């Protein structure tokens, strides 16, 4: 009987161990399901969130070639009052869908402007020549935007004084071509290193998902509020932007 009791006790311990492992695995599985569900809900929410129209009546999109063949009627129906489309890049680059996007936006009555992605590795005059060659001067065009970000393709990090001098040259040349002053749009890391908004007196466009940005030297005029918006009529995600209403400064 003693031997049988020992065997029974061992069997009981073995069964208890297996049950404990099974319970733990079930708990882990349930936790993973909850995490995946929460992540899915967050992505669903992020793809649809835009700032309150009551606070920011004028809103629009940022579009580039990654958005495919954009159906601009659908973009307008989604609430875009204006659009900025990626245009030129450095001294040679041109977005493959630039001309199509500019024309498509105008056809449906969406105000549109061009973005130039500024390169730290190329001369300002060469970049300005690229912009002037591809972006026509039009009275109905929105002011051009100079996108300022670090780029893995460009390891150069000029001094702040040199950057500001080159950027001033670039702005003078494209503004003479366009007949209006441009906006500058530094990313947070770029602004932290170069403090462009302190050194260049231009209207600024700042970027921060879901929360108003405060990294500029003076209040933003435009805010890219969500870079994860998904719209019918465009592949992938688009940037969603708002204009600061007059008299709504901090």
3-state class (DSSP) for residue 28? helix
d(CA 180, CA 40): 44
Q: Is the pLDDT of residue 10 over 80?
A: no
Could you say which DSSP state residue 53 is in? T
User: Is the pLDDT score of 3 beyond 80?
Assistant: no
Mean pLDDT, residues 232-236 taken together = 96
Mean pLDDT of 187-202: 97
Binned at pLDDT 50, 70 and 90, residue 44 comes out as low
Domain ranges for the chain, please list them.
1-46, 52-243
Q: Residue 250: which pLDDT band, with cuts at 50, 70 and 90?
A: very low
Q: Which two tokens stand for residue 206?
A: 């700042």
Fold of 52-243: TIM Barrel (3.20.20)
Task: Please list, in sequence order, all residues whose beta carbon lies within 8 angstroms of the beta carbon of residue 80, skipping any fewer than 6 positions away.
Answer: 59, 60, 61, 110
pLDDT tens digit sequence for 134-185 = 999 999 999 999 999 999 999 999 999 999 999 999 999 999 999 999 999 9
pLDDT score for 160: 98
The residue-averaged pLDDT of 66-79 equals: 97
Cα(128)–Cα(145) distance, rounded to whole angstroms? 12
188 vs 3 pLDDT, higher one: 188
Single pTM value for the model: 0.83
């Amino acid at each position: 009987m003693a031997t049988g009791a020992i065997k029974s006790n061992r069997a009981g311990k073995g069964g208890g161990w297996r049950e404990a492992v099974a319970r733990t695995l079930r708990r882990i599985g349930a936790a993973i399901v909850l995490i995946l569900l929460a992540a899915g809900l967050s992505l669903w929410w992020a793809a649809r969130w835009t700032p309150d129209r009551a606070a920011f009546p004028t809103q629009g999109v940022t579009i580039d070639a990654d958005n495919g063949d954009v159906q601009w009627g659908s973009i307008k129906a989604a609430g875009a009052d204006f659009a900025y489309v990626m245009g030129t890049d450095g001294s040679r680059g041109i977005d493959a869908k630039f001309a199509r996007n500019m024309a498509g936006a105008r056809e449906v009555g969406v105000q549109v402007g061009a973005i130039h992605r500024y390169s730290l590795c190329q001369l300002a005059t060469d970049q300005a020549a690229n912009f002037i060659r591809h972006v026509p001067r039009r009275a109905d065009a929105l002011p051009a935007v100079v996108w300022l970000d670090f780029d893995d393709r460009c390891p150069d990090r000029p001094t702040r004084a040199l950057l500001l001098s080159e950027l001033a040259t670039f702005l003078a040349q494209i503004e003479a071509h366009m007949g209006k002053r441009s906006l500058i749009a530094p990313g947070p890391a770029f602004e932290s290193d170069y403090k462009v908004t302190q050194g260049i007196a231009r209207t600024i466009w700042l970027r921060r998902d879901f929360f108003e940005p405060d990294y500029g030297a003076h209040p933003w005029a435009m805010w890219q509020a969500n870079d994860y918006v998904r719209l019918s009529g465009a592949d992938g995600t688009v940037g969603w932007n708002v204009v600061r209403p007059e008299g709504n400064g901090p």
